[in-house]
Structure 1
Amino acid sequence: MNAMIFAAGLGSRLKPYTNNKPKALVALAGKTLLQRAIEKLKSLGVDRIVINVHHFADLIEDFLKENHNFGVDIRVSDERGELLETGGGLKKARELFIPNAPVLIYNVDILSSIDLNELIQQHESSNALVSMVMRNRESSRYLYFNQDKQLTGWKNCKTGETKVARPDMEKSEPLAFSGIHMVNPKLFDLIVEEGKFSIIDLYLRLAKTEKMIAFEDQSELWFDLGKPAQLLKAEGIVKNLE
């Protein structure tokens, strides 16, 4: 099984921590966010991890070398030339993955106690093209899923912008995306988008005809560490746990 850590972002929301380093190398309770993500995926037994880089890419490469890739088969997808967003980043990384194996995607700024084995089991048994980890929490943007847990649409609650993937969106449940998702390798042959593009927009396009489902995560701990206040809050919780 493959995994991909999205680590190429500019980390603008996390300033001043990212003034001289990438978001991936910001520390949380003594460990960088990247190390925490790698260790979680390593404990799962993934066969290969691909990490995309752009902002302070050299520092991430040096960090991996210094730590001997944490004993994992790690490949770097270089986006120094152009930041490709989530969809473009996944597409560019295609040739670095073990062929014909699923890909577990994990945002580097996510801290979660989710049991990823449960996600893998549901994904495999459902024959879904994509399984997205969703939570019932407050957010400014929601993805909508019907009674079959099928993706039906997206809405930005601040602007009112709506993207409908299926006609039953208005009867569907709004859930917040957790930054963790698993994709069947068949997805790559369905990507027609070029350059930089959002993976959510790709999923919404494919949801019209493909099985794109929610995995509802009710685990105790989940943090988006993209802002200083969230990082500080998580720091205290993690120190108590560890």
Structure 2
Amino acid sequence: MKAMIFAAGLGTRLKPLTDTMPKALIRVGGKPLLQHVIEKLKGSGFDEIIINIHHFADQIIDFVESNDYFDIRIEFSDERDRLLDTGGGVKKASWFFDDHKPFLIHNVDILSNIDLRSLYKIHELNNSEATLVVSDRPTSRYLLFDDSLQLKGWLNKTNGETKSHFPDINPDNYNKLAFSGIHILNTSILSYMQHFPDKFSIIDFYLSICSKVRVAGYTPVNLKMIDVGKPGSPEEAESLLL
């Protein structure tokens, strides 16, 4: 099975730690975040991984090489010349997903207890082009889903801004769920990206196609997760690993 790890971000919320290293190599529980994610993916049956790189890219490459590529196939999608955002990152790496099977995307700064094998099987059964792991937790930006957990829109709760291809969407009529940074896509979805520029958001992409194809949400039972990209979160993440 194939997966992509988003590791190209600047990690600005974690300064000054990221002034000298990429966010991917910040240590939690004695291990860099990248190692936690690679080992979780590998333990779940993902044996081919591509990692996008930009900020202190050489450090990430050196780390993976020094660990003998964790005894799996690991490739790099080089964004050192220009950060391409999440959607553009997938588009640039699309050559890697050549087996016509669903692939997983995982943010490097997300630690969770989610069963990735079960997630993959659920995606295969739900007849969707993409399955997004979401949860009911406080945030400033929500994805809007109908009662069958099909994506319909996006809400910025801070200023009331909404995005949707469905006319006159009323957020009060939908389930407001927070995106986890973990999702599974069918390779067929990549054809829709050809009409997008090199740099774009994966969320904007999902919103643009959800009126044409099924983009589903999935809420795992008893999900525990933490976004280690936020200030103070590396210390909090230590407790999640106990």
TM-score, normalised relative to structure 1: 0.95
**AA at the equivalent of 1:138:** P
Structure-to-structure mapping, 1:44-63, within 5 angstroms: 44-63=44-63
Q: CA RMSD in A?
A: 1.3
2:192 pairs, out of 173, 183, 190, with 190
Partner of 2:179: 177
**AA at the equivalent of 1:221:** K
Corresponding position: 1:128 with 2:131: no
Partner secondary structure for residue 93 of structure 2 = helix
What percent identity do the matched residue pairs reach?
49
Q: CA deviation at 1:167?
A: 4.9
1:224 pairs, out of 224, 227, 233, with 227
TM-score, normalised relative to structure 2: 0.95
1:234 pairs, out of 226, 233, 237, with 237
Partner of 1:5: 5
Q: CA deviation at 1:109?
A: 0.2
Q: CA deviation at 1:126?
A: 1.2
Q: CA deviation at 1:24?
A: 0.2
Q: CA deviation at 1:202?
A: 0.2
**AA at the equivalent of 2:68:** H
Q: Is the 8 A contact 1:12 1:18 kept in 2?
A: yes
Structure 2: 5+ residue stretches without partners: none
Q: Is the 8 A contact 1:88 1:196 kept in 2?
A: yes
**AA at the equivalent of 1:76:** F
Q: Is the 8 A contact 1:152 1:167 kept in 2?
A: no
Q: CA deviation at 1:115?
A: 1.0
Q: Is the 8 A contact 1:50 1:97 kept in 2?
A: no
Partner secondary structure for residue 83 of structure 2 = coil
Q: Is the 8 A contact 2:102 2:185 kept in 1?
A: yes
Q: Is the 8 A contact 1:140 1:158 kept in 2?
A: yes
Q: CA deviation at 1:136?
A: 0.4
Partner of 1:152: 152
Q: CA deviation at 1:220?
A: 4.1
Partner secondary structure for residue 228 of structure 1 = coil
For residues 182 and 121 of structure 2, the distance between their equivalents in structure 1, rounded to whole angstroms, comes to 15
For residues 8 and 142 of structure 1, the distance between their equivalents in structure 2, rounded to whole angstroms, comes to 23
For residues 47 and 32 of structure 1, the distance between their equivalents in structure 2, rounded to whole angstroms, comes to 19
For residues 191 and 64 of structure 2, the distance between their equivalents in structure 1, rounded to whole angstroms, comes to 31
Q: CA deviation at 1:237?
A: 3.6
Q: Is the 8 A contact 2:45 2:117 kept in 1?
A: no
Q: How many pairs were matched up?
A: 239
Partner secondary structure for residue 91 of structure 1 = helix
Q: Is the 8 A contact 1:146 1:168 kept in 2?
A: no
Q: CA deviation at 1:99?
A: 2.7
Q: Is the 8 A contact 1:225 1:231 kept in 2?
A: yes
**AA at the equivalent of 1:9:** G
Q: CA deviation at 1:96?
A: 2.1
CA deviation map 1:176-200 (0-9, x unaligned): 0001000000011111101110000
Structure 1: 5+ residue stretches without partners: none
Q: CA deviation at 1:221?
A: 1.8
Corresponding position: 1:39 with 2:42: no
Partner of 1:138: 138
Corresponding position: 1:213 with 2:196: no
Corresponding position: 1:106 with 2:109: no
For residues 122 and 97 of structure 2, the distance between their equivalents in structure 1, rounded to whole angstroms, comes to 22
Partner of 1:165: 165
Q: CA deviation at 1:169?
A: 4.5
Q: Is the 8 A contact 1:21 1:56 kept in 2?
A: yes
Q: Is the 8 A contact 1:48 1:98 kept in 2?
A: no
Q: Is the 8 A contact 2:97 2:187 kept in 1?
A: no
